[in-house]
Structure formats: C-alpha cells, structure tokens
A and B are shown apart, each in its own frame.
Chain A
Amino acid sequence: MLPTSQYEVQEAVLQSSVPLRVRGGGSKSALSTSSSGEAVLELSSLNGVLEYVPEEFTFTARAGTQLSEIEDMLAQNGQWLPFDPPLGGRGATLGGALAAGLSGPGRYRFGGTRDFVLGVQWVSGTGDLLRGGGRVVKNASGFDFPKMMVGSLGRFGVVTEVTFKVFPVAQQFSTMVLECDSLNDALEAMTRLSSCPLDIFSIDIEPPATLLVRLAGEGRALSLRMRRLGELLGDGEILLGEQEEDLWVQLRDFSWLSPGECLIKVPITPAVIPTLEARLVGEKSQRRYSVGGNLAWIGWHGDVNEIDIILSESNLSGLRVLGSAGAAWVGAPASAMAFARRVKDVLDREGKFLPI
C-alpha cells in the first residue's frame, strides 16, 4: 500500500484485515521490515512541504517527506533542526524520525525530536483523521498528542503530517577530540563539563577513551570558548570546517557500524557507562555513548537474544533500529508500558496496528 494522501491512508486503515506496519523511508530496517501476518503501509509517497515561513521558525510537511529535503530547505534560510536527526543521509523521513523517537548528538543542548515537534495530523484505528497540537511555537491546548506519538512506532496510529519548530543555525562549529588515558578519565572530564557555562553543544564518548566536545556559535567568540575548553580539559585535537562537520554527520548516520551489525538504541545515564562498557567490551559489539552520556548506541553482531539478556540483566531498555525483522523493543520493558497499552486500547481498539 502506497498512499499519496491522508484520505488514502484512512482508506487503507479501514480496509486492512491484518495489522499494519507503517514504513517511512525504510532507513530503520529493524523497524520497517515486515514479518508474516502483517501488511506494510508505506508513506514515502505521502511527501512534500505544506507550509514554511522562515520568520515563524516552523514548518509543516507530510510525514513521508525525507529529512534531507527538509534540511536542504532549512539550510537555504539559515535554519536547522538542531538535534542531528539520525539517518538523514540514509533516506529517513520526518514521520519515521518522530515515530521511532530518535535524536542525534545535538540533542544535548536544545532537546530532541520530542522537544521540537509541535503538531501532528494522524489516522486512528477507526480510520478517523485527527489533529493534535498546533502550528505555533508555543501551545498548551488539549492533550499533547504530538509528544505521545514520539517513540510510538506507529502503534497508536499513522502520522500523516507533522509541524516542527526550527532554529537559526549556528554560524560556526568547532570540536575538540581528546584522547583520555582511560574511560574513567573521559567520564570524569565529561562530569566537569556538565555544569560549566561554556554552552556545550554536544558531548560524545567513543570507547575506549575518546571524548568529543562540540561548541557552536559566533566565530570570534568560538575560538575564545575553545581556549576556555582547553583550559578545562587540557589540549586535544581541534577540528574545524568540513572535517568537523563530517565527523558529526558520520556519527548521526552511524557510518561507524560494521557491515552486518545491527544497531540498538539504549537510553542510559552516565553512571551506568562503566558497568555497561565492562559488560560489552570484548563481546560482539561496538559502542558509542552520545548526548552527554544519556544514550548508548550499540552495534551488535551477535544473536539478538544475547543482547536482549544482557540489557535485561543490566535493567536497561533498548530499541532495535537497524537489523532484521523481529521485536522492536529489547531488554527490560520500557517504563509504564502497561499504561501505554491502555492508551493504545483507546486509540486502536480495532487492533489495526502492531501490538505494543
């Protein structure tokens, strides 16, 4: 099914007799590859920008619009989505980014997908076309259905249109790459930065012990801020320009993954990094700790059951993003899933979408 309008989405939902798997650009293979007994509702033809007034700092587009198209459009007006939406370079769509609830390293400073979504139009299990939120940058009217859709993986309904807030893009960027003596040293340096007033844009850790710190802003001030960063951390390698930009693009598009590795998103706090790292090192995996130690990306080339068990034992929940068909959520159950099921029973009484 390849609807080209929200009405065709409504029709498809009404007609369907098996649970629907909603697919955007198919860039998140573990979430968009179908299993037997399902039908795929593909939204890549439901695309196009509907409204963009740069002065408003907002745009509205159909859910199947590619992130890269949006990013080009914003860049022409000196604007961006400041959270490095993942997989933009691999065909990810707006709706997919929202439903998967993914944000990249830039999420550290200003918030992620959940913080920039303002409004949604969506089709419920009864085939009704609904709206939630608004098209302005601030709103407290009615239940926040737009946020509820973040991370819902199309289990609550089909998002057909989204409105996002955008920001003016920073004039320049600079990144310090610091090779620390140990993971603990890198973590300790990160802690020192967490309450410092340098306005850090992103902090990532690449095991075994590399700290990446990104600053963004006006050019002259930026070099002074980088000097201050050096005073805090000691001398690291400074990246600028294209090389600097490429580094973060590669991180958000997961270019570091080896062929055949699946990718798992695991929300964490910095405190769990030492034990998680100790548990995974030498195993069949690569790790990147992003968003100031709030997110682990695990590249896994073993059996999915094994990582499922490791995460459960560590009391961590995970989301499979890249990989073969199968369960989306692994590890310990995400918080309040029983409550989420009650919500789903209301939005999708008929069971038109995959279960949660």
Chain B
Amino acid sequence: MAARRFLSDLAAIFPSDRLLTERAQLIPYESDALTAFRALPRAVVLPESQDEVIETVQLCYRASIPFVARGSGTSLSGGALPDEDGVVIALNRLNRIIRVDAEHRLAVVEAGVSNLAVSKAAAPYGLYYVPDPSSQSICTIGGNVAFNSGGAHCLKYGMTSNHVLGIKVVLPHGDIVEMGGESLEGVGPDLVGLFVGSEGLFGIALEITLRLLPVPESYRTVLAAYSSMKDAGDTVATVVASGLLPGAIEIMDNLTIQAVEQSFDAGYPTDAAALLIVELEGEANQVEQEFVELEKIINNSAAYSVRSARDDIERSQIWKGRKGAFGALGAITQAYIVQDGVVPRTQLGAVLSEIDELSVQYGLRVANVFHAGDGNLHPNVLYDGSQEGMLERAEQLAGEITKLCVRHGGVITGEHGVGMEKRDYMREMFAEVDLEMMQRLSRAIDPRGIANVGKMFPGQGVPGV
C-alpha cells in the first residue's frame, strides 16, 4: 500500500518516460561495473533538474525508502548497487556545465557531467581538470566525488578531493547544504574534505565547484621494457629518489601486455615481463632538463628496450594501451575482479611476489597493472563465471590480496572505494572503535538509514552472489 503510494508520488514528479518501474527497464541498473553483485530496484528515476533530485530525496525520507545515487555506473566496487526496496536516482541527465571561470581557474558543474567534459569545456582557456580516471570519458563528477576517484597523476596532484572547492549537497533528510566555496582556502572544518569519498552515505552531490589548472605545455613520455618485474620496480625507486616528480609512473605485467596487444595495437613488446611508463609534464624548458635526467636513469637501468614519444601521436599511442588495459582483459578472460590496494612503494616488490605465489596456490591467473608512483596496485583476478565455484575462489583470492596490502602497511582501496565489495575488509584496516565512529556519524547525517545503506561498513548478506 505504502509502496504504491510512493510510486504515485514519484509519478507526480516525473513523466512516465523518466520513471522506470518495468522489469525490462530496470535490468540495466541492476549492477554497476562489478557485475557479480545484482539487485533490481523498485524504481529508477531520471531527474533533469536539481529540484527533481531534491524532491525525490524528500519523498524517500518521508516514506523511509532507501535511495542510491548513480552516475554512469562504472563503479568497480558495487557502490552503485541498488537496494531491492529502494529507488535509483540516475544522474546522467543532470549534466549542465554551469560556468567555466577562467580568471578564477574554476568550473561549476552539475553532478552528472562527465569527467572529460569538464576538461573539454576548460580547454579553450588553456585549463583542464586534473584527475583522470581511465573511465574519464564516461564516469561522472558526482561519482568521482563520492569515491574520491584517482587516476594516473595522483602522486603529483592528489585525488579528486584535492580538486574540489565546493559542493552543494542534498542531505538524506532533504535539506540543502553548501560546503566550501570558490576560494582555494577556507575557514572552519574542511567539510568538503569530509564529503568527498563518503560514497553516497551523506547524501547526493548536486553541484560541484572544481579547481582547474593550466594545461601542461609539454610532455615527455618514456616506455621501458624489462625482463623482470623487480628491475622495473627498482627503476621506479631510482626515479623517485632522484628528486624528479613525474606526472605519472605506471607498470603493466606480461599478462596485461598480452591482453592489450590482443585488443589493440599499442606496439608494446609482448615478451616483456614488465613495462614501465614514466611521464614528465610542465613548462617546456623545465621538462627538457628533467628529461635529460630521466633518460640517464632509464638508460642505466636494466631496461632492454626504451621508447620515447616524439610527439602527441606517439604519446597517445603509449597511453592507449595503459588506459584501455581494463577493457582489454576481456580478450583473455571471461570475467575478472579488480583489486585496488595501496602499499608503501618500498614494499611493491615483496607484495607482487606474494601475489604471484597466491595466484599459483589458487590456480587463478592475476594480471597486474598499477600506479607504481603511488603504490596503488590493480591486481586483476581472472576467472570463468560459468565454472562451478570459480567466482567464490576468485573472491577469496582477491580478499587475500587486499589483506596482504594492509599487512604491508597499506590500505584496502586507493581509488575505487569500499562500496559493497570491500566492506568486510574495513576491519583489516580499522579498529572496531574507528568503524563505530564512522557509523555513528553516518547515522547522525542519515537518521532513517536510507542513503546508499549497506555500503562501506561490514555487514551481512550481499544480493546476487
């Protein structure tokens, strides 16, 4: 009865083509990029204005109906997984770029604007939005904010949080709050910092003020091939110790290289045990000087083949394989689970060889592609979902890898978020009192427990597994 009433209230806000309730319409929303978890929501709404989002949240609050915000559904941790009793608020159409203020180096955008669209809008002014998750052409700023997403440039530039100046939020009880502003600085507690990475538990970001930076004038990108992972890792250590601060330092292992080369021709040497990409960026004279230093280091390393990009085309050729690596894994496996732990850089070698051992022990292949500069691993556990018990084994192995990262002084997620998938591993990282405090805060902000409930904190029962 109450449910029917709720749906008719929704119908008063949304025309029928933007209120989805039929099974066939709901299926595309039953999971995000982590397809192992599935749940059909009661309804999906497609707001086109901030007011429609606010009214929906207010309605959910009055009726105590759970809601899940959804950007483009590219979450890799089940963050956008629907609640069976709830509504999905899909924000792709809330996508106005409100303004680009070049003088103040900022952009004000609605939550459903894609990451790349911000940089495109800023480009005519010589500016760009720095964080660049590999999914940047699809994923939304709202999703980036919820997960504090990263990308390949985090050592030098930080994550999403370091580039958000202000956020307008609709809280889970329907009130609007504006955190931060337009200045790089603030007074009072850093609430923007608290909201970013809160994974939808504190409400829905409607409008976000982003910091922009001048587009680097010049890039120098080097690709080096190694016959062992250790040699590649040692080179990273030397680069970092040299005092250089590259924009990106990335590594791919042989399995990933194979997958990439099968999917598109990035021209990677397929016999390499490890490929290292190092990219310098900045003012042209500065980059040239740094490049002399970098070339020395790479040439003195154990690399058996080195390629530097001479122009933008060669540069994007080098990056094409790296940015497409996740997608390319589809060519060599039916399915995979990607992990996202971070370890201290000095532990990379030890952790990678332990992952190798685990891989043999579990009889499952693991493809490694990672942000070596900041120690953020992405071990991909490959499995075949049609084989009895294999998904469970893959999940177990993935869990072992996550625990391994914490044991080596790291964290369970560097950029993909806890979501549904890693919530049980929060206990590896945090003590019971820490988790209790986070949950108390979450309950105070969301007293009816309706905002993306069931995510982030250890709990029972995962739908669809």
Give A contacts to B, CB under 8 Å: 53-58, 78, 101, 103, 107-108, 110-112, 114-115, 124, 128-132, 134-152, 155-156, 167-169, 171, 191, 194-199, 217-218, 220-222, 224-225, 265-271, 291-292, 294-295, 317-319, 329, 334-340, 342-343, 345-347, 356
B459 within 8 A of A: no
Q: How many contacts A-B (CB < 8 Å)?
A: 279
Q: How many residues of B contact A (CB 8 A)?
A: 96
B239 to chain A, nearest CB (A): 11
Nearest neighbor of B425 in chain A, beta-carbon distance: A141
Question: A112-B185, A197-B217 in contact; A140/B193 too (CB < 8 A)?
Answer: no
Complex-state Cα separation, A134 to B344, whole angstroms: 11
B289 within 8 A of A: yes
Q: Are B346 and A101 interface neighbours, CB within 8 A?
A: no
Q: Are B411 and A132 interface neighbours, CB within 8 A?
A: no
Give B contacts to A, CB under 8 Å: 102-105, 125-127, 147-150, 154-159, 161-162, 166, 171, 177-194, 196-198, 214-217, 237, 240-241, 243-245, 282-286, 288-290, 340, 342-346, 371, 374-376, 409-418, 422, 426, 429-431, 433-435, 437-438, 440-442, 444-445, 456
A336 interface neighbour in B154, B178, B440, Cβ under 8 Å? B178
Nearest neighbor of B154 in chain A, beta-carbon distance: A138
B185 interface neighbour in A103, A224, A337, Cβ under 8 Å? A103
For B154, list chain A residues within 8 Å (CB).
Answer: 137-138
Complex-state Cα separation, A134 to B411, whole angstroms: 7
Question: A138-B375, A197-B216, A291-B184 in contact; A143/B418 too (CB < 8 A)?
Answer: no
Q: Which of A156, A197, A356 has the most CB of B within 10 A?
A: A197
Q: Are B189 and A294 interface neighbours, CB within 8 A?
A: no
Report 26 cross-chain contacts, Cβ distance below 8 Å, ordered by A residue: A55-B240, A55-B241, A55-B345, A110-B157, A112-B185, A130-B434, A132-B434, A134-B342, A134-B410, A136-B344, A136-B409, A138-B371, A140-B148, A140-B417, A143-B438, A144-B193, A148-B191, A151-B186, A168-B245, A194-B104, A221-B286, A265-B187, A267-B186, A318-B187, A329-B187, A334-B187
Q: Are A139 and B186 interface neighbours, CB within 8 A?
A: no
Q: Are B187 and A271 interface neighbours, CB within 8 A?
A: no
For B418, list chain A residues within 8 Å (CB).
Answer: 140-142
For A139, list chain B residues within 8 Å (CB).
Answer: 342, 411, 413-414
Q: Are B105 and A343 interface neighbours, CB within 8 A?
A: no
For B417, list chain A residues within 8 Å (CB).
Answer: 140
Q: Are B102 and A101 interface neighbours, CB within 8 A?
A: no
For B241, list chain A residues within 8 Å (CB).
Answer: 54-55
Question: A134-B429, A136-B409 in contact; A221/B288 too (CB < 8 A)?
Answer: yes
Q: Which of A78, A141, A197, A337 has the most CB of B within 10 A?
A: A141
6 shortest interchain CB distances as A-B pairs: A147-B193, A334-B188, A197-B217, A221-B285, A267-B183, A294-B184
B120 to chain A, nearest CB (A): 16
Complex-state Cα separation, A345 to B155, whole angstroms: 35
Q: Are B188 and A218 interface neighbours, CB within 8 A?
A: no
A43 to chain B, nearest CB (A): 19
Complex-state Cα separation, A141 to B237, whole angstroms: 25
For A167, list chain B residues within 8 Å (CB).
Answer: 245
Q: Are A195 and B127 interface neighbours, CB within 8 A?
A: yes
Q: Are A218 and B185 interface neighbours, CB within 8 A?
A: no
For B185, list chain A residues within 8 Å (CB).
Answer: 103, 107, 112, 265, 267, 291, 294-295
Complex-state Cα separation, A287 to B162, whole angstroms: 27
For A143, list chain B residues within 8 Å (CB).
Answer: 194, 197-198, 438, 441-442
Q: Are B342 and A138 interface neighbours, CB within 8 A?
A: yes
Question: A195-B214, A225-B283 in contact; A142/B342 too (CB < 8 A)?
Answer: no
Q: Are B409 and A135 interface neighbours, CB within 8 A?
A: yes
A186 to chain B, nearest CB (A): 14
Nearest neighbor of B211 in chain A, beta-carbon distance: A111
With A137-B375, A140-B417, A147-B190 already in contact, 20 other A-B pairs whose C-beta atoms are closer than 8 Å: A56-B345, A58-B344, A78-B243, A136-B344, A138-B154, A138-B414, A143-B198, A146-B193, A148-B193, A151-B188, A191-B103, A195-B105, A195-B126, A218-B286, A220-B289, A225-B285, A267-B181, A271-B103, A294-B185, A336-B188
B179 interface neighbour in A132, A168, A335, Cβ under 8 Å? A335
Question: A114-B190, A334-B188 in contact; A140/B183 too (CB < 8 A)?
Answer: no
Complex-state Cα separation, A265 to B216, whole angstroms: 31
